Amino acid sequence: MKAPIRSFLFVPGDSEKKLAKVADSAADAIILDLEDAVSEARKPAARQMVSEFIADRDRTARTPQLWVRMNPLGGEHALADLATVVSAGPAGIVIPKIDGPADVLRVHNYLEVLETAHGLDAGSIRLLPVATETPVAPFRLGEFAAAQLGRLYGLTWGAEDLSAALGASGNTGPGGEWTTTYQLVRSLTLMAARAAQVEAVETLYVDIRDGAGLAESSRRARAEGFSGRIAIHPAQVDIINAAFTPSADEVEFAKRVVDVFAEGAGAVALDGKMLDLPHLKQAERVLALAGMLEL
Ligand code: COA
Ligand code: MG
């Protein structure tokens, strides 16, 4: 099994200067954006630039996976985006503003045709929908588990477009915490992803100068079950990678937990606390992740 993607760095698809920084990035994946970071007038140019950028990638070096955020289905750009970029063989497509699994199935169907047309392995391009950007989308999160979408890499969520769709003038409280609506959709995304047995990807942290805040909120996201996070600035990548990598202490503790259960009991005491099967499962998960990350 491959380790989950810890960091997905967004790069505007029409910025030559920012694209030039991608090769050196420590991000596990890059999302070349064709949607909100690109102005209407620049859409066609961005699509072309992104396609060429992916086609010209260095296939020998250890470089980030290259993903593309397409424009929303039903708009005038979505099909042109897919028709242009798929031939270059991106690792995956981020689908914004979906209403539910039916939209993801639609993109899956387009990809089946395009992969065949371009001689790519069937099913090789993965999908990451942003599953909370329209008012109806949160109600359909639970349907991903039954939808059995083989290309689905994970689910992520977004607050800004949902706020705009709801007519909200803000989405955080006085201390910067998400207000109830956004806490709700965040938790539902996490549970929907795990119910569908795919990755849960935390949304971006908008304050690009607040590294400490990003680190703290990313550690909390991992503790809750998210496996990675969106980045919007290169300075966020190392912080996110670190937060989604088990610490040496965590690995050490997980080993002790596994060792103490190896003695055969179903419930044990360790450091004065009761541990039972869920704790063993969590410890095994930490060790599996450490193994995949070659720690
Ligand atoms: N990818 C690659 N390079 C980036 C980058 C990104 N996402 N964000 C910033 N950089 C580069 C800048 O070009 C700059 O390069 P330089 O030192 O050669 O001038 C350097 O990193 C430092 O950038 P900084 O000045 O701190 O930020 P900025 O004011 O240039 O840009 C943003 C701020 C938010 C506009 C920029 O980070 C950005 O474009 N982020 C992604 C936006 C996006 O894709 N949004 C859609 C998803 S929500
Ligand atoms: Mg958006």
Query: Tens digit of pLDDT for each residue in 156-187?
Result: 999 999 999 999 999 999 999 999 999 999 99
Residues measured by CB to lie within 5 Å of ligand 2, the ion: 36, 161
Q: What is the pLDDT of residue 59?
A: 82
Whether the pLDDT of residue 58 is over 90: the answer is no
**And the tokens for 178?**
């998400």
For residue 30, report the distance from its CA to the centre of ligand 1, in Å. Answer: 13
Q: What is the pLDDT of residue 264?
A: 87
Place 155 in a pLDDT band, splitting at 50, 70 and 90.
very high
Instruction: Write b or e for each residue in 71-106: b if 16 or more Cβ atoms lie within 10 A of its Cβ, otherwise e.
Output: bbbeeebbeebbebbbbbbbbbbbbbbbbbbebbee
pLDDT band per the 50, 70, 90 thresholds, residue 230? very high
Beta bridge partners of 29: 8, 65
Give the mean pLDDT of 219-233.
98
pLDDT beyond 90 at 62: no
**β-pair partners for 69:** 33, 94
Chain-centroid distance of CA 269 in Å reads 36
46 lines ligand 1 (CB under 6 A): no
Tell whether the model's pLDDT for residue 32 goes beyond 90. yes
Q: Is the CB of 18 under 6 A from ligand 1?
A: yes
How far is ligand 2, taken at its centre, from the CA of residue 76, in Å? Answer: 16
Q: Identify which of 150, 205, 180 has the alpha carbon closest to the alpha carbon of residue 188.
A: 180
Indicate if ligand 1 lies below 6 Å from the C-beta of 234: yes
Mean pLDDT of the chain: 97
Q: What is the reported pLDDT for 24?
A: 87
**How much is the average pLDDT of 275-294?**
96
- Cβ–ligand 1 contact at 67 (below 6 Å): no
**Which-ligand-closest: CA of 31?**
1
Residue 37 near ligand 1, beta carbon < 6 Å: yes
Please report, rounded to a whole number, the percentage of residues in the chain having pLDDT higher than 90. 95
Residue 196 has pLDDT above 90, yes or no: yes
CA 97–ligand 2 middle distance (angstroms):
8
**Dist. CA 233 → ligand 1 center (Å):** 5
Q: Whose CA is nearest to atom 25 of ligand 1?
A: 233
Residue 161 is assigned to a ligand binding site: yes
Confidence label for 65 from pLDDT (cuts 50, 70 and 90): very high
Average pLDDT, integer, range 104-133: 98
CB of 152 closer than 8 Å to CB of 104: yes
Is 259 annotated as contributing to ligand binding? Answer: no
Q: Is 133 annotated as a binding residue?
A: yes
Give the model's confidence band at 265: pLDDT under 50 very low, under 70 low, under 90 confident, else very high: confident
Mean pLDDT of 201-219: 98
Strand 228-231 to strand 7-12: parallel, antiparallel, or no bridges (unpaired)?
parallel
| DSSP structure string for the chain | -PPPP-EEEEEETT-HHHHTTSTT---SEEEEE-STTS-GGGHHHHHHHHHHHHHT--SSS---EEEEEPPPTTSSSHHHHHHHHGGG--SEEEE-S--SHHHHHHHHHHHHHHHHHTTPPTT-SEEEEBTTSSTTGGGGGGGHHHH--TTB-EEE--SHHHHHHHT-S--B-TTSPBPHHHHHHHHHHHHHHHHTTSEEEE---S-TT-HHHHHHHHHHHHHHT--EEEESSGGGHHHHHHHTS--HHHHHHHHHHHHHHTTS-SSEEETTEEE-HHHHHHHHHHHHHHHHTT-
Instruction: State whether the beta carbon of 204 lies less than 6 angstroms from ligand 1.
Output: yes
125 CB within 6 A, ligand 1 = no
The structure tokens listed for 203 are 């949304």
pLDDT band, very low/low/confident/very high, at 205 (cuts 50, 70, 90): very high
Q: Quick one: pLDDT at residue 23?
A: 85
> Region 243-254: what's the mean pLDDT?
97
User: What type of residue sits at position 120?
Assistant: L
How far is residue 33's CA from residue 224's CA, in Å, rounded to a whole number?
28
Question: Average pLDDT in the 252-272 region?
Answer: 94
Distance 25 CA to ligand 1 centre (A): 13
